[in-house]
């Protein structure tokens, strides 16, 4: 763990997971521009150090924590370290994620277990440990990074899409519980985002440019939505159209419809058996 300035500060502090690339990296820079101190978490310490250097230009404190959030003990270790440094979290950004592609009957359970630990269990643990302080102070913001896949089952990405659906429903539920305490919960549901590194590469062709959005643009839209206390933020017209279209598909054909759309527009190939 490294810090670029003394740990005690009067500035608000944002904790961002998965900050080494993509949306998390861009969000960290955005929060720094707005004067937030940062706690940035990822496995890649070198990438976090580079990010901290960029953020330092805005005269903010940056605490680097190189941790693997798929490890159950990681969150408690992070929490204890912040308590010792007397760092209070004002904004919690649950962004860390990974992808697993393939038929569920053939994918590795070890990878899927890691995905569940990262995109479900770590989110629950982080929210659980930082909520008491937010409730006591009657203020706080939570940004959970879901996906347009939060709304649909996606064949060959079954566990990934299910984990994103969890984030949407979990966020909806706790938002209702926490509104009396002045705590907001926002879900970001982006589509295809550039400059994002998943642990497992997806079997895609080159995706059509009109479907993609740079991580910096997604982060800007997410930040604005968070400040406006929006429940759900879906960046881009194409993504909004996709989500609304899925709402009208009969459930009996929803999964097959999604698979056709993903195959045509994202170039996913159905793995051949044998």
Active site residues: 160, 164
Radius of gyration, CA atoms only, the chain: 18
Counted residue by residue, the chain has a size of: 274
Helical packing angle, 122-137 and 158-178, nearest 10°: 10
- N-to-C CA span, the chain: 47
Strand partners, 2: 64
Q: Phi/psi of residue 11, each to 5°?
A: -75, 150
Strand runs labelled E in 100-202: 140-145, 183-188, 192-194
Calpha distance 208→60 (Å, rounded): 38
SS3 232: strand
Burial (CB < 10 A; 0-12, 13-18, 19+), residue 217, is middle
CA distances from 233 to 77, 143, 161, 168, 262 (A): 31, 10, 17, 11, 21
Calpha distance 246→238 (Å, rounded): 12
213: how many CB neighbours lie within 10 A of its CB? Answer: 19
């Amino acid at each position: 763990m490294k810090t670029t300035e003394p740990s005690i500060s009067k500035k608000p502090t944002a904790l961002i997971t998965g900050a080494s690339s993509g949306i998390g990296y861009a969000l960290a820079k955005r929060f720094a521009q707005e004067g937030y101190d940062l706690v940035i978490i990822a496995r890649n310490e070198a990438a976090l150090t580079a990010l901290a250097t960029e953020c330092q230009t805005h005269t903010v404190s940056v605490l680097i924590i190189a941790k693997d959030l798929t490890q159950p003990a990681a969150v408690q270790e992070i929490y204890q370290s912040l308590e010792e440094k007397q760092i209070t979290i004002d904004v919690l950004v649950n962004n860390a994620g990974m992808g697993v592609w393939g038929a569920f009957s053939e994918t590795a359970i070890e990878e899927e277990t890691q995905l569940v630990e990262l995109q479900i269990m770590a989110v629950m643990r982080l929210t659980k440990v930082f909520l008491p302080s937010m409730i006591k102070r009657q203020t706080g913001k939570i940004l959970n990074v879901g996906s347009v896949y939060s709304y649909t089952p996606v064949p060959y990405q079954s566990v990934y899409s299910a984990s994103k659906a969890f984030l949407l429903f979990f966020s909806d539920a706790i938002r209702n519980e926490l509104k009396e305490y002045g705590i907001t919960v926002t879900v970001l549901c982006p589509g295809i985002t550039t400059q994002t590194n998943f642990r497992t590469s997806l079997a895609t062709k080159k995706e059509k440019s009109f479907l993609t959005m740079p991580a910096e643009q997604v982060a800007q839209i997410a930040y604005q939505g968070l400040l406006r206390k929006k429940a759900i933020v879906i960046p881009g017209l194409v993504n909004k159209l996709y989500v609304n279209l899925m709402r009208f598909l009969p459930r009996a054909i929803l999964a097959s419809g999604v698979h056709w759309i993903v195959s045509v527009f994202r170039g996913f190939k159905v793995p051949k058996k044998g």
